[in-house]
Chains A and B, each alone.
Chain A
């Protein structure tokens, strides 16, 4: 479903963030990308989200080269991908409910669907009780669960989680990974980046290790090692 074909990214200051990367991700995969800071993980995710253009090579989502898409098409492309970030990136002046509903509204879904789906999704991440709290009234783990709810509410084909557990304690980390696993079991492809050795070792899924913009290892049932 997702194919990176010899992608390189050279930034304006001549630093090579990605060096000839080729990855093929199949539907239903749960792929973890590991590596030190500066290894190129975030740049890679930005390529997939069409936030950055590759200097060389191409990124295909199903059969389309996503960097040939026009602005409007990029909007609808992004609606097929759910994103979760280390810093949550919730809309601070909207409640948990409204944050999730926003993604559905942006996708142009009708009101009755929104009213039905949002509580359902929030229940799935165990936040039904705090539906009407604002982000600043929620703990880190709860915020991340809102972010996950927002990411999955449009039933995306792919979820990108960029260090989703980076700001969380072990208990919350475990919860978040369990939720992601559950989503993956329901058929959604997931790309996860992380520093957390324990998370990777527990998952026992495909692991891609990166260093200095290159892939140094790609193992189907990997452990964390650099």
Chain B
């Protein structure tokens, strides 16, 4: 009997979804908007996180050595830096390499190259590019370098300058901006989610309002609550499922179009690649929210008209 009931409820739901085509279409469209808003949370947060990371990634410390610094001392310093747990990587650029880099960078600039030729010796010093395991650890690395300079008179002379301070300000400012926009963004998104969930809920309530007379007829025929409610909940689930599929399909061309733009904006993320990468999660979140919203709103909406 149980399965017969389930079968009848599902069939009634499908038939009702199909026969009330316009009501279904309207509900699905409204729900598609809601689900798109929900999907956009995922995308926005991913984009902001990725932007923040790519900026953090650009943080590094450059240590420039004086031209006369002996290779041996530099190698020693490199060794001791690499022994620090905070340091992820130390990249050494020798004087010769620095010159080659300079030439390639200015390959089109005849004037600068000529000026370089005039000089008797290589004007460039060797340098380190130091990356920390975590951006918050640069402070201590810089302190370490400075302590090395003050403690041992010998090494003091080999370091020309450390360019951390200038970068730091710009990076801190950017981090603050991104942090603030993440917060603002989530407030706006949450607002939109609430609004669109309410709209969806109301649309389904209206759709069921049309059937209030019928619900009372069903009551009078002696149908049980489950038997009356079942088909409406089925229809709600179908709204959610169809809207979810539509949303996922619409996101394909949208992210395909927007993806290169987001990459160019320096977020370090192509939205289209991201869409493909998290499709599984996206599917679960979007379809899941759709099913949940549809079922719950239908369930609650019918309740109102069951009291005969």
Contact = CB atoms under 8 A, between A and B. Distances in A.
Interface of A: 49, 51, 71-72, 75-79, 81, 83, 89-93, 102-103, 105-108, 110-111, 150
Contacts of B16: 93
B5 A108 contact: yes
Contact of B220 (A72, A78, A110): A78
Contacts of A111: 4
Given A93-B19, A93-B20, A106 B213 contact: no
A108 B1 CA distance: 7
Contacts of A76: 222
Interface string B196-225: 000000000000000001100111111111
A24 B213 CA distance: 32
B161 interface: no
Nearest to A81: B222
Given A93-B16, A111-B4, A49 B221 contact: no
Contact of A106 (B20, B214, B221): B221
A92 B224 contact: no
Nearest to B220: A83
Given A51-B308, A93-B19, A103 B5 contact: no
B164 interface: no
Given A51-B308, A93-B16, A93-B20, A106 B217 contact: no
Nearest to B16: A93
Nearest to B215: A91
A110 B4 CA distance: 8
A102 B4 contact: no
16 contacts: A51-B220, A72-B224, A76-B222, A78-B219, A78-B220, A81-B222, A89-B213, A91-B214, A91-B217, A102-B218, A102-B221, A105-B8, A105-B227, A106-B221, A108-B1, A111-B4
Nearest to B214: A91
Contacts of B218: 91, 102, 106
Residue of B8, B217, B308 with highest tally of chain A CB at under 10 A: B217
A102 B224 CA distance: 12
A67 B172 CA distance: 74
Contacts of A93: 15-16, 19-20
B37 to A, nearest CB: 31
Interface residues of B, number: 21
A60 B223 CA distance: 22
**For the complex of A and B, 5 pairs with smallest distance between CB atoms:** A106-B223, A79-B222, A78-B222, A89-B217, A103-B221
A13 B1 CA distance: 45
A40 B290 CA distance: 48
Interface string B4-21: 110010000001100110
Nearest to B20: A93
A92 B220 contact: no
A106 B222 contact: yes
A174 to B, nearest CB: 26
B218 to A, nearest CB: 7
B304 to A, nearest CB: 16
Contact of B224 (A89, A103, A106): A106
A20 to B, nearest CB: 26
A71 B222 CA distance: 10
Contacts of B221: 78-79, 83, 102-103, 106, 150
A106 B213 CA distance: 17
A107 B222 contact: yes
Contacts of A71: 225
A170 B20 CA distance: 35
A75 B223 contact: yes
A196 to B, nearest CB: 23
A102 B214 CA distance: 12
A90 B221 CA distance: 11
A150 B223 CA distance: 13
B214 A92 contact: yes
Contacts of A51: 220, 308
A105 B226 CA distance: 12
Contacts of B217: 89-91
Contacts of B4: 108, 110-111
Contacts of A103: 221-222
Contacts of B20: 93
A76 B221 CA distance: 9
Nearest to A90: B217
Contacts of A102: 218, 221, 223
A103 B4 CA distance: 15
A170 B220 CA distance: 28
Given A75-B223, A102-B221, 14 more contacts: A75-B222, A75-B224, A76-B222, A78-B220, A78-B221, A83-B220, A89-B213, A102-B218, A103-B221, A103-B222, A106-B223, A107-B222, A108-B5, A111-B4
